Amino acid sequence: MKNFLLKHWLKIVGVMVGALGGYIYYVKVGCLSGTCPITSDPTNSTLYGALLGFLLFSMFTKSPKKEVSEQNVEKNNHKI
């Protein structure tokens, strides 16, 4: 569990920040008529904000690098 949290901490923070932002958007802006599908309900607004926060913060994570063996490097050098 600790390894998972260390590996995905930025995405978890993004979900929390997005959820808070979605709820604040519901409280401050909201939808007076009740016909807005996202902002008429605090649950929908919070979940939508959490999704957007996850997507935004996951852009800043590094992708794992592929290891290249020495044999593959030598083969590629001979082809050139």
Question: How big is the CA angle at 6 (ends 45 and 15), to the nearest 5 degrees?
Answer: 5
What is the pLDDT confidence band of residue 35, given thresholds at 50, 70 and 90? confident
pLDDT digits (tens, 9 = 90+) for 59-76: 988 777 776 565 565 566
Residue-by-residue DSSP string for 12-52? HHHHHHHHHHHHHHHHHT--SSS--TTTTSHHHHHHHHHHH
Confidence (pTM): 0.72
